[in-house]
Structure 1
Amino acid sequence: MNRRNFIGNLALGGGLLSVSPFGSSAYAVPVTKRKVLVGTESLSADLVVAGGGLGGCAAAFAALRNGLSVILTEETDWVGGQITQQGVPPDEHQWIETHGAPQLYRDFRTAVREYYKRYYPLTADAMARKFLNPGDGSVSRLCHEPRVALAVLHDMMAPYLSNRQLVLLLEHRAVSAEMNGKKVKSLHVKSLRSGKTYALEAPYFVDATELGDLLPMTGTAYVTGAESKAQTNELHAAEKADPTNNQAFTMCFAMDYVPGENHVISKPLEYDFWNNHTPPLSPPWSGKILELNYSNPRDLKPKALGFHPEGLRTGDSLNLWLYRRLIHKANFAEGHYPGDITIVNWPQNDYMLGNIVDVDDDTFHHHVERGKQLSLSLLYWLQTEAPRPDGGQGWPGLRLRGDVMGTEDGLAKYPYVREARRIKALFTVLEEHVGAENRKMVMSGDGPVKAADFYDSVGVGYYHIDLHPSSGGDNYIDFGSLPFQIPLGALIPQETENLLPANKNIGTTHITNGCYRLHPVEWSIGEAVGMLGAYCLETGERPLAVRDNPDRLSDFQRFIRSQGIETHWPE
């Protein structure tokens, strides 16, 4: 049999039998793969994925389980993107435990819980919880440590690394691309350790980088920043377009609390600046950035926040300590942890004073370093000046936990990026397709308000439209959306034929990116893209033709549904 074999097994490892997605008959045959050819200067595979975040990992898993060989590159030394290297527990919708994401994503979540139950000294009560939340953080039903997510992802990759079906190039950065007309011929990546450059060749390439780095390298048309109302007719769009106006990024960090000890860091170099800084936003921020208040995202009125590192109530205010808590010591054997561990990804360390999208390396690093200074200044303020309920100031027992983040400086390996370059796609998702208020305005009839039904749906997701303060001076833009679909047209560039996006670089706007940028949606995008690559290699069709041909599109949608990808929300 000449054609590639598609693995229907959704297990976290590799399967040994194949199930045909094309038609009703199943067959069992040994898996065959194209070998990954490793030379001194070049590597080739069926699929090259640049960027090891959740979208990149999901694209790789989807291709691997369908018999393809994959080269996966990652700029840092950790795969996982926002859930590991950036230190952000999953932002998810309320139905995530049962539906609204691919089966493999839910398998990943189950494996995270099983990791804690297998290796950690949980209490009997925590061990018995089906939906264990190790940190009991309020932001997620699964607040957990970055290293555990990393371990699970490595376990999922292990069978494919072992047989060389997957080549993983950590600490390799894409630097250029070679084109053949409208097709990417090769991607050149450079080792950040040795300086050696490889030419990666494949029929299909996936841009899963955090900032959409492959788009300018390949001449793929893209947009950045905020569109205007005149361009998109979106209810919440800006009056004037600004391609440099992107959401704040955050240099997250982890800390725990050891009562009675002093872990105060050295005063950061920019502390005096940040301690007196008021974000230059419109409408105005509610005070200085290093204070326990912020602008309520929904109405932009001043809102008080609380902080107590022992988890105690802070009146009617949200206790920031609990918000993204990764480890709740009460879930573990007494004495195993001296205190809880929490992630600091708060309004107080959102960096708004510069744009890192589509800028040169010097500008990028300048703003990242200032973002680090902001985060360290926030920690120092919490340790020395933050108001305590007893009338005192500061919590010197707060301890920076660089070991949790895998870094020497204690901060995340990479900025938590909320916005990137976005392809000019065959179809662009607008607010009128997914925004609750805007959708109500464009719908006719008295039926329930629902998100647009995309005929080419290849996934689903949900999150409110959440735009953090921006480099252009906007305060929060935060409002309701509707459970939505992921249209295939938003994953296909208008011209470049064999490059597919798998991160925050799909065909959305500045506004709709606000609900398509979260963990399970990024995973869904990546998994759909990985299967699209497999389908196109099997059938010989181009991605554009798969979408344009009704029979091919229906066949592809049946294919992805057969492997646990939901294309519609239940009624």
Structure 2
Amino acid sequence: MTGEQSTDVLIVGGGLGGCAAALAIAKAGYRVVMTEQTDWIGGQLTSQAVPPDEHGWIERFGCTASYRKLRNYIRDFYRNNYPLTASARKREFLNPGNGWVSPLCHEPIVALEVLRAMLAPYVSRKLLTIALRHQPVAVELGAGDRISAVTFRNEAIGTDQTIAAKYVLDATELGDLLSLGDIEFSVGRESHTQTDEPDAATESDATDVQSMSVCFAIDHIEGEDHTSEKPSRYDFWREYVPPLKPSWPGKLLDWKACHPRTMETVEYQFNPHHESSRAFSGLWSYRRILARDNFQPGTFASDICAINWPMIDYLPGHLLNDSAEENNRHLADAKQLSLSLLYWLQTEAPRTDGGLGYPGLRLRKDVVGTDDGLAKYPYIRESRRIKAEFTVCQQHVSAKLRPNGNRAQQFEDSVGIGSYRIDLHPTTGGKNYLDVEALPFQIPLGALIPVRIENLLPAAKNLGVTHITGGCYRLHPVEWNVGEVAGLLACYCLKKSQSPRGVYRTAKLRREFQSFLEQQGVQLEWPSDIVLKEGDPHGHAL
């Protein structure tokens, strides 16, 4: 993609929200360009190597129709292309990895192929252009508080590209356009005075965000030595004690950690090939993305596991700095932490048989598609967030604060639903876990409307939530829902010659848009008779 270009809708970021938006817009017949800074679309599912975190009702309800298609197509890909065992092939809810974090743990490349296939017809029809390795570098604001164009650096050839659009969706992992365009946003933690949230801090801190993680994949070949080269920062990370309050029980590279909900010390189990898939039973089966027992004997020498554990939560800094040099330094150090965990596992980790280290652990570079064996992009738990017409706060979704109901606050302007615990990982500001129950919630349209800019919509984790409620709105099906609705809202506004703010503020238009969403398979309400089950393994991720 070279020279100047214009389109109906520009999506900046090719993660789950971006893909959902692109699918919705192109299906409606509008021209759309989707850019992505890596060479893989799919975000959390692919370039970040994070299997889906979902709620316990996901197989029956609680997601958009297009997200359910994505999940079904992933299962079909395994049935059509892999030598499954007869019992696995017949399983309605096939879980290729038998990981206990999700009923659908799978390899990143499968999700990538499925997403490409879902979008391919619209690429062929010239409705959708996908521009990989494009990093946004500038936002041009025009008259009427509108974004007129975004400029990108094409990392593949080192040239700049400017794209003009009628609507712009920020589907980046970090809310990049908000910073580049000097658009009103929140970042880090808010104070109790700002949000009235019971668990908010006394003072706000823009530098205090949830830790990121650079994930990777491993298998285990018994009797072989696949020990990696010792990382340059290994000695530092081997002795590192997280500076958190409440305090961490010891070194980060250790089987002991804090229980996210109780703050008590827990000791994780790890035993390749000898763990059950029972929820919370052990780390080998936790995010296992390929279980060899699901496939005909001899197909795979080992299970394959995605590593997204507490030991790689990076605490010294984040990627939301204005300085590219500082961001690059933290990313490099986060990669060193992940490589140090692998080396510790191979050489020094206490074994269940009394020995040290598992030299048979092998870094699977092919699974994540990189030369260093680390995911193409870090798993980002917290983004910049738009200053929105409405902000979802803890009191809207917390089970403790709404003791008489089985659902979170109901919103007349609902444009989707989600469910997950308020799950905040340790932060760069020294706060330990905050992990409390949230009720099944809705996504209010007001949280997608910026307070000033008229043609920008959030399409990822950057909607109007707080530091706290971002902890339950950040997972895969909700990000997809947000992106899909942002795309459909842009289409609706183009067709009706309306503005997103006008749709939000005009009851008749809002109801018409909600009917349009329902026709597209977007669920706006949770069933009134849902039964909450405490301890559901699909309501919390480590």
Aligned twin of 1:377: 340
Choose 389-398 or 148-157, whichever is displaced more. Answer: 389-398
Q: What are the within-5 Å matches in structure 2 for residues 54-69 of structure 1?
A: 54-69=16-31
Provide, for residues 445-478 of structure 1, a one-character-per-residue CA deviation record: whole Å limited to 9, x for no partner. Answer: xx53531111110000000000000000000010
**Structure 2 CA distance for aligned equivalents of residues 448 and 176 of structure 1:** 46
Q: Distance in 2 between matches of 1:126 and 1:472?
A: 45
The reply on whether 1:261 has 2:224 as its aligned counterpart is yes
Change (3 A) 1:317 1:96: closer
Deviations 1:386-429 (A, max 9, x none): 11122111111000001000000000000100001100000000
Residues 314 and 131 (structure 1), Cα distance of their counterparts in 2 relative to 1, 3 Å cut: closer
Distance 1:143 1:564, change over 3 A: same
Match of 1:521 among 478, 489, 498: 478
Measured after TM superposition, the shift of residue 43 of structure 1 is: 1.3
The aligned runs of 1:95-114 (5 Å cut-off) are: 95-114=57-76
- Aligned residues of 1:358 and 1:421 also touching (Cα < 8 A): no
**Counterpart in the other structure of 1:555:** 512
Letter in 2 for 1:381: W
- Other-structure match for 2:199: 236
Write the mapping of 1:169-568 to structure 2, written as runs, cut at 5 A: 169-181=131-143, 182-312=145-275, 318-440=281-403, 447-568=404-525
Once residues 501 and 352 of structure 2 are traced to their aligned partners in structure 1, the CA distance between those partners, rounded to angstroms, is 61
One-letter amino acid matched to 2:450: P
Q: Which amino acid aligns with 2:51?
A: P
Whether contact under 8 Å (1:469, 1:476) holds in the other structure is yes
**1:146 aligned partner:** 108
Q: Is the 8 A contact 1:63 1:69 kept in 2?
A: yes
Q: Percent identity?
A: 50
Q: 3-state SS of the aligned residue for 2:400?
A: helix
Q: 1:570 to 1:257 in 2, by over 3 A?
A: same
Q: What is the number of residues matched between the two proteins?
A: 527
Distance in 1, matches of 2:285 and 2:125, equals 43
Q: Is the 8 A contact 1:431 1:439 kept in 2?
A: no
Give secondary structure in 1 for the equivalent of 2:284: helix
- What SS does the aligned partner of 1:204 have? strand
Q: Secondary structure at the match of 1:187?
A: strand
> Whose radius of gyration is greater, 1 or 2?
1
Instruction: List alignment gaps of at least 5 residues for structure 1.
Output: 1-37, 441-446
Indicate the residue corresponding to 2:77 in structure 1. Answer: 115
TM-score, normalised on structure 1? 0.91
Change (3 A) 1:536 1:380: same
Please report how far the alpha carbon of residue 313 of structure 1 lies from its aligned counterpart in structure 2 after TM superposition.
Answer: 6.0
How is 1:83-102 mapped onto 2 (pairs within 5 angstroms)?
A: 83-102=45-64
Per the TM alignment, residue 355 of structure 1 is displaced from its structure 2 partner at its CA by: 2.3
8 Å CA contact 1:235, 1:438 repeated in 2: no
- Is the contact between residue 87 and residue 253 of structure 1 (CA under 8 Å) also seen in structure 2? yes
Counterpart residue type for residue 301 of structure 1: E
Distance 2:103 2:276 in 1: 20
Q: Is the 8 A contact 1:257 1:397 kept in 2?
A: yes
Could you tell me which residue of structure 2 aligns to residue 23 of structure 1? none
User: Structure 2 stretches of 5 or more lacking a match?
Assistant: 529-542
- The answer to whether the 8 A contact 2:195-2:393 is kept is yes
Q: Whole-Å Cα distance in 2 between the matches of residues 317 and 66 of structure 1? A: 43
Deviation for aligned residue 1:314? 12
* Aligned CA distance change for structure 1 residues 316 and 434 (closer, same or farther; 3 Å): closer
1:38-67 deviation line (CA, Å, top 9, x unaligned): 7x5211111000000000000111111111
Contact 2:100 2:278 in 1 (8 A): no
